[in-house]
Amino acid sequence: MAEIDPLLVRQLRRLGIEDIDEPPDRETWHKVVARISEHYRHVADDRSLLTRSLDLSTNEMGALHRQLLAERDRLRSVVVAIGDALTIFHDAASSQAEPDRPLDAGSAVSTTTRRFAARLGEILSLGGAARGAAGSRDSDEAINEVRVQLVGLGDRLVQLLADTAEKASLKKQLEVARAVQQMLVPGEDVIARGALRLASHFQPAAECGGDFWTFHDLPGGKMLTVIGDVTGHGISSAIITGAAKAACDLARTLERDALTPARLLALMNCCIFEAGKQRFLMTCAASVFDPEDRSLTFANAGHPFPYLVRNGAVRQLASQGSPLGAASSAEYASSTVQLERSDALLWFTDGVTECESAASEQFGERRLRALFQSVATYTPEEARDAIMAAVSRFHGGRPLDDDMTLVVARVL
């Protein structure tokens, strides 16, 4: 007997026919044929279902691929929009460093707002078209979250531009104020008038302050020196300093021979009281040197007392008086001291004595007094340089919190 197909053998055994040497009867045969037909029908159904599943998977994969490409394009557009906004921000910020190029902050902020908002709308509007019917609630929530985040980013960029513009404007104002302040001090490095030789140092702080000093030639070969310090920092202090310098110049012009340090301080007090409205005060020390008898007449308005070194001994030229601007009228008293050849004098502001080391220790008057005493035999410029070198080493080269001004004089 020929070999029977294994599939037929399995079907016969499922029907209970173990003996396959003899052909089955008609009824059994019909059952076998029906079972085989059903088997192949199921195979065809499974193949059809698999084909449909593959088709659906292919379509879904294609839709996902297209959505992924759309999301990639949207992300790329977001990056480009953010890059454009950052470019405008960079241009606005970098223009601060160019003094000849004014910063148009309003235009920069407006341009950034319009461009970023318009581009953001275009990008987000692509979401619905790209998703179509395949969009879901989760996807919509994700897009809304992206929208919120991007709008918040745009707001922060615009705020950064506004803050940068404000800081740039303030920086330019401070630069102007500092330039004006620099004009209030003599440009000469060393000043020689007969028997008196002076050397000065003026170092403004990082923020505009209120130090100034000046000298004037008076009739009879006399010389006036004035040093002052307005309380506080900033543009307002610089303005008060300018008012004080103007009052000093006016008093010198009007009083001429009759000008004394006490009279000068009284006139300056009236000006600063009116200009500062008691919100700003100024300490000041004024001196008049008379070369004829080598005398120094001085008055003080709350300023650190000057030092006088003679034969290695140091003393303070003390004279009492309230700071300028504290009251509408104030009286100041002048004192006179006879100077001798080789005497050394030092005027300074509290920015020198109150500068701090890295350990927050102040330089102090005691240290300054001892240092000046040790360099009093130097020329004024040498003594000035030695003092400032010591102060700089003590301070450690960090940004100053206050202006530093000092004037060294020596009687020849």
Residue 146 pLDDT grade (very low, low, confident, very high; cuts 50, 70, 90) = low
Residues 320 and 272 in one domain: yes
Output the pLDDT for position 186.
84
Residues 255 and 164 in one domain: no
Residues 127 and 264 in one domain: no
Residues 242 and 374 in one domain: yes
Residue 194: give its domain's CATH number.
3.60.40.10
Output the pLDDT for position 372.
97
Residues 194 and 341 in one domain: yes
Output the pLDDT for position 96.
46
Check pLDDT > 70 for residue 4.
Answer: no
- The number of folded domains in the chain is 2
The residue out of 146, 164, 181 marking a domain boundary is 181
Residue 150 pLDDT grade (very low, low, confident, very high; cuts 50, 70, 90) = low
Output the pLDDT for position 1.
45
Check pLDDT > 90 for residue 257.
Answer: no
Query: In the predicted model, what is the mean pLDDT of residues 15-22?
Result: 63
The residue out of 146, 181, 216 marking a domain boundary is 181
Residues 253 and 361 in one domain: yes
Residues 203 and 169 in one domain: no
Residues 177 and 232 in one domain: no
Check pLDDT > 60 for residue 27.
Answer: yes
Range in 58-62, 141-145, 187-191, 333-337 the model is least confident about: 141-145
Output the pLDDT for position 133.
44
Range of the domain at 136: 1-181
* Percent of the chain with pLDDT strictly greater than 70: 67
Q: How would you classify the pairing of strands 313-316 and 282-290?
A: unpaired
The residue out of 148, 181, 214 marking a domain boundary is 181
Residues 238 and 288 in one domain: yes
Check pLDDT > 80 for residue 83.
Answer: no
Residues 341 and 244 in one domain: yes
Q: Supply the pTM of this predicted model.
A: 0.63
Query: In the predicted model, what is the mean pLDDT of residues 267-282?
Result: 90
Query: In the predicted model, what is the mean pLDDT of residues 357-372?
Result: 95
| pLDDT tens digits, 285-298 | 999 999 999 999 99
Copy the structure tokens of residue 310: 């003679």
Closest CA to 261 of 185, 347, 196: 347
| pLDDT tens digits, 388-399 | 999 999 998 888
Better-predicted residue by pLDDT, 243 or 158: 243
Residues 33 and 164 in one domain: yes
| pLDDT tens digits, 174-211 | 676 666 666 667 877 799 998 999 999 998 876 666 88
Residues 199 and 238 in one domain: yes
